Structure 1
């Protein structure tokens, strides 16, 4: 008979009580995310000092958000591409092809079918762009997955092909002006106003708090350790403050008086004397928020997301476990194509026309945003919010340098240096963290 008494006594005698965590440690924050937020804060404060505070005015913050949207939308898809150990160099050219298709549809074909001014024009134009983008993305994914052609080569060819396909679709001409309703997705021509912006802000705050405490309840029900309630409340307060402060800043950017008068005149009304209204949340930013939520849910709560990260972590093991990695590659590139189409909507609507140079060098900006946001080029690691934050950091650098008066070539030099520095810092961080 085995005597377990002494062993039990020894185990109980040698048990070391755990050291209580500090309040900051109990928050269990992603230190890499904190580092990126700190870097963004330093960039903003630095440029604010060099521009006598103009960089942090509500007007510039508003412009900064709408300038970030197009690249940020594609960066969310690039996360999936890089996580599965691929690359897509064609996103800027694919954006141009989708933009050209939508411009031609809404200026040449759809008005003849539905009549000028019909709301069906912008709807079918967007649907057409999504079909084009998704089909091209799936085709490229098929070549990568089923024909085993390296993604670098397929998309490098796509970079050359789709840019010139767009040129031939429009005969090299600028197409516009685009449908007035379509232009709502561009930013300043489409905002929700102060009241609706506050409503959306409240809804987003409530959703964030609900998700935070639902996650706590789910962990507790499965016996996993949870944060102290004080830490959960503090995180909820941080989320609520960030969302509502963002809405407050956007609402603080007032519509110029003459523009406001024209808006009232268009409705057949007289503007009350002394009225001041803010632009509020741009529709394009709301679109980015929706896409970010959907992509995060796909990454964290769906089988597709689990397959994507499993394949990126170990492709051979994923295939042996029954994952159809070839079909998964097609799906990932198809998602990227659809996001390029949505980005084309935002970019062309902001310009109010389609131009030949739309999306030029966006492929580099998108890849840089994903990598700066923490997506590992070795695959298996990446976050949607990180990619969006990476896009915001890049746009902040470019906008700030433009306001300071830095020449465009030097701007690109700085952005390139920041990209290399970000990858180097990421390598050091992962080595020390044992990732």
Structure 2
């Protein structure tokens, strides 16, 4: 589940250097980046430093019920949001409709619970199916029309905003489904520490956290070990070369966007559980976090390389900053400015680290 990328395809010029006499080809660079230039290590150091600073300024930062459990619940949501964006960044695409896909999927779940009285897991599966279908439709449109993913998903986002509002107005109270199917309140309020066997109790971890962990493991396995994941990365690295190699690039584009839609639906479910209602505003704050986690963690915007663990750490950094500033009672406007500055500094330091490492002979 570390950073994954396919080997670069040889260019015609490089191949010709090996045919017959001529200048010797450049030797391949095989050394990896030194440990200190690893972006994930840098994120760990920054997170640890910020935790220390916020704890010194506000000791309640380490309070289990006040801070740590709610922070874990929020982190679970935004890790899955980051993975949803990572799935299309692997192609060099963007999905600007992640929040609205989460909203339409949450509507489908709420409708199933309110109108059909379906069990909690069944409604989740229905919502994930809706998210997968919407994501796949976006991927098919991008491939079929050749229009940039930015434009297609932006148009999809605007379309879904209107559709979600109309749906809630027509079948709900115009705002939310307030139904609580069996198990929803436990997922929202309980932690593993509430369940004890004898004198042994679980850790203070919210019950929704394993769902996010399952998503992390699944996406990591997909891109590191499965043929589908490797071919998606190859398509993102060089679509033309991948197609000439026999990879069905059209299908891989659709599948990557389908995975993004599925994960967006799961994020919508987790947020609905955290909020206690399936509402029309679910996903409205997903766009920026969906990019922060993967990009801070080392996923390339150009496609061809992803970092699942880096995405988790990037989301954790963002959540630590937000929680710490909230405890220090910063105004929302000031908090946004400081978050932007800290994240910009983190990205800049990561870039400096890579440049220094490459000058010393490493390779990214």
TM-score after normalising by structure 1:
0.69
Give the one of 41, 57, 60 matched to 2:63. Answer: 57
Query: Residue 230 of structure 1 aligns with which residue?
Result: none
CA contact (8 A) 1:194 1:280 kept: no
**Aligned-pair Cα RMSD in Å:** 2.3
Give the one of 65, 87, 90 matched to 1:80. Answer: 87
Deviates more, 1:389-398 or 1:167-176: 167-176
Q: For residues 425 and 146 of structure 1, do their structure 2 counterparts lie closer, same or farther at Cα, with a shift above 3 Å needed?
A: farther
Query: Residue 34 of structure 1 aligns with which residue?
Result: 41
2:131 aligned with 1:129, yes or no?
no
Query: Residue 103 of structure 1 aligns with which residue?
Result: 110
Query: Residue 239 of structure 2 aligns with which residue?
Result: 315
Deviation at 1:325, TM superposition (A): 1.5
Query: Residue 150 of structure 2 aligns with which residue?
Result: 152
Query: Residue 252 of structure 1 aligns with which residue?
Result: none
- Structure 2 distance, partners of 1:423, 1:176, is 41
Instruction: Specify every segment of 5 or more residues in structure 2 that has no aligned partner in the other structure, as ranges.
Output: 1-33
Deviation at 1:276, TM superposition (A): 11
Alignment of 1:3-402 (within 5 A): 31-51=38-58, 53-59=59-65, 60-108=67-115, 110-111=116-117, 120-171=118-169, 172-186=174-188, 188-189=189-190, 191=192, 193=194, 195=196, 280-402=204-326
- Structure 2 distance, partners of 1:190, 1:310, is 41
Q: For residues 425 and 86 of structure 1, do their structure 2 counterparts lie closer, same or farther at Cα, with a shift above 3 Å needed?
A: farther
Deviation at 1:368, TM superposition (A): 1.1
Deviations, residues 99-134 of structure 1 (Å, cap 9, x unaligned):
1121122112x13xxxxxxxx422321121011100
Q: For residues 420 and 319 of structure 1, do their structure 2 counterparts lie closer, same or farther at Cα, with a shift above 3 Å needed?
A: farther
Deviates more, 1:415-424 or 1:135-144: 415-424
CA contact (8 A) 2:193 2:201 kept: no
Deviation at 1:29, TM superposition (A): 7.9
Deviation at 1:181, TM superposition (A): 1.5
- Structure 2 distance, partners of 1:152, 1:353, is 30
- Structure 1 distance, partners of 2:349, 2:233, is 22
CA contact (8 A) 1:43 1:397 kept: yes
Instruction: Specify every segment of 5 or more residues in structure 1 that has no aligned partner in the other structure, as ranges.
Output: 1-24, 112-119, 197-271
Deviation at 1:279, TM superposition (A): 6.4
Q: Count residues in correspondence.
A: 321
Deviation at 1:402, TM superposition (A): 0.6
Q: For residues 413 and 48 of structure 1, do their structure 2 counterparts lie closer, same or farther at Cα, with a shift above 3 Å needed?
A: same
- Structure 2 distance, partners of 1:30, 1:80, is 25
